[in-house]
Amino acid sequence: MKQQRQFIDYIEQSIIDNWDRKALTDYQGATLQYKDVARKIAKFHIVFEAMGIQPGDKIALCGRNSAHWAVSFLATVTYGAVIVPILHEFKADNIHNIVNHSEAKALLVGDQVWENLNEEAMPGILGVILLSDFTLAASRSDALREALETRNAVYGARYPKNFRPEHIAYHREQSPEELVVINYTSGTTGYSKGVMLPARSLASNIAYCQELLRVQPGDKMVSMLPLGHVFGMVYDFLYGFSVGAHLYFLTRMPSPKIIAQSFAEIRPRVISSVPLIVEKIIKKDILPRVDSKIGKLLLKMPLINDRIKADARRKAIEIFGGNFDEIIIGGAPFNPDVERFLKDIAFPYTTAYGMTECGPIICSARWETMKQGSCGQAASRMEVKIDSSDPQNVAGEIICRGENLMLGYYKNPEATSQIIDVKGWLHTGDLATMDSKGFITIRGRCKNMLLTASGQNIYPEEIESKLNNMPYVSESLVVLQKEKLVALIYPDFDDAFAHGLLQRDIEERMEQNRLELNTMLPPYSQITKVKIHFEEFEKTAKKSIKRFMYQEAKG
């Protein structure tokens, strides 16, 4: 195996090699070239020096995706400080807790997030800098205040003949184990843990993306997944930047309308997405355009004729910009009917599997070789096993180890020892089978598995995937209440009302769905009751439902 490049090398070399190329654009806003990014990084380093930041100190970063978010991240890690990205969707008390727990020396924050925060609740930080214009929002440090006011003058004196590629000399990692990122998981368990990602994990993940994906310098990419989560941070941002791509930040929620508009203009080369976004676009924008009479029923048809296939493929590729090599889907289970439809029309999608604890990649594959229903094979530099006596037929827990693995949870050795065993295997908590070629198929979460009174193991995700594809169902959860399986359903009210249904009609339709669903299920996993939810289920940043909030509901 050839020697792994240092993480910082990927950033430094890309800036030098792509100096005059476009780097970061806020969609319908300003653009920074790679040389502009380098100059902003240099000014940040001047500020960090003046305020006494040392390599290894923590800098917290919380805001929507933007060019300035990316610059702040790059400036921090190239200085040798540890970046603490925080999802902007977190509640204020959680953000305060993460800033304090991580011992961050400063907070870089978006305007909208800052409106809900209180600097008094974060006593350890020296100051708060706004991402919009890098001005000071709050300060406990005269040195920080002065540094921000004088950074341009100091920069001009330090580089009197302009800043050039030969001036770049970023912090060198002392060891592959050097801590670079503390990423606090959003999780479906209700609390956050600080995942410590070392330089080797980030370098290994970037190297794997470069091996699998076909982005060239100057190609365009769209960053629509939250950069505060490691999936978007690595697949979109760090990989894209490392290969000299031109990254666009949508700076808003990626609705189907925004995606259709922006992708047609940008025509991205690689797209990363959670399943929910792709499923919505396929169901609402592709199927009706292919055949308005059949629509959603196409998902249930075992055979689709060649004309419909070709038409569907053309329209699906067109709505995502028409120029992409593949769409990488990850973060949550993919609806099997939508996936079958995409496979039938030869749509270039692939499903990746990972965890924040692996920065994030564990399994993936190119779309041409991807086995339907699977999440690919073990990534380069990773070992993956199924903890089962018969991995091909009996689901067991996915365990893995390798270069991508975290150092552990920050200031939480007990939680670390619970997930990483003495032989270095990470226990993912996901149940899966593995075929003879190493393709892994997720069956469910260990903690989600339901044990019925008859002793049967139920994987609720498998039932939900069928239910979610039934008429007027937007999303669902299957839970155990009083020893009975109950389906909690959030209906697609817009679609139902558009078809003239009233509230009682929706309730009747859901009961019909239950009866139809049960014809597809063995007796021990049939649904005894449906309960309608009138609001969407609470979700993590990856759009996974926070099951813990609903599983204790009483019947």
- Which segment of 202-211, 282-291, 337-346, 372-381 scores lowest on mean pLDDT? 282-291
Please write the tens of the pLDDT for every residue from 486-540.
Answer: 999 999 999 899 999 999 999 999 999 999 999 988 787 899 999 999 999 988 7
Provide the percentage of residues in the chain whose pLDDT is more than 90: 69
Would the pLDDT of 325 be above 90?
A: yes
Would the pLDDT of 451 be above 50?
A: yes
- Whole-structure pTM value: 0.84
Residue-level pLDDT at 1: 41
**Residue with the two structure tokens 């249904």:** 501
Q: What is the DSSP letter of 281?
A: H
Would the pLDDT of 374 be above 80?
A: yes
User: How many beta carbons lie within 10 A of that of residue 505, not counting itself?
Assistant: 14
The alpha helices in 106-174, defined as continuous H runs, are 111-114, 142-158
Provide the percentage of residues in the chain whose pLDDT is more than 70: 92
Residue-level pLDDT at 553: 44
Average pLDDT score over residue span 38-55: 96
Residue-level pLDDT at 521: 85
Please write the tens of the pLDDT for every residue from 91-127.
Answer: 899 899 999 999 999 999 999 999 999 999 999 999 9
Q: Which domains does the chain have, with CATH numbers?
A: 7-215 (3.40.50.12780), 372-448 (2.30.38.10), 449-549 (3.30.300.30)
Handedness of CA 378, 381, 386, 389 (dihedral sign): positive
Largest CA distance in the chain: 78
Residue-level pLDDT at 289: 67
- Which segment of 169-178, 212-221, 286-295, 399-408 scores lowest on mean pLDDT? 286-295
Separation between Cα atoms, residue 520 and residue 293, nearest integer Å: 25
Separation between Cα atoms, residue 269 and residue 323, nearest integer Å: 6
Would the pLDDT of 189 be above 60?
A: no
Separation between Cα atoms, residue 102 and residue 70, nearest integer Å: 20
Average pLDDT score over residue span 453-478: 83
Residue-level pLDDT at 298: 60
**Residue with the two structure tokens 């973060």:** 331
Quote the tokens at residue 47: 């500020």
- Which segment of 191-195, 371-375, 478-482 scores lowest on mean pLDDT? 191-195
Residue-level pLDDT at 472: 92
Alpha-carbon separation of residue 40 from 53, 334, 459 (angstroms): 17, 40, 50
Would the pLDDT of 554 be above 60?
A: no
Q: What is the mean pLDDT of the chain?
A: 90
Average pLDDT score over residue span 445-459: 69
Average pLDDT score over residue span 192-212: 96
Would the pLDDT of 452 be above 90?
A: no
Residue by residue, DSSP assigns 378-398 as EPTTEEEEEESSSTTTS-EEE
| Confidence band, pLDDT 50/70/90 cuts, at residue 555 | very low
Coil, strand or helix at 434: strand
Average pLDDT score over residue span 79-83: 98
Q: What is the DSSP letter of 531?
A: E
Choose among 303, 77, 104: nearest CA to 194: 104
Residue-level pLDDT at 295: 52
Would the pLDDT of 153 be above 60?
A: yes
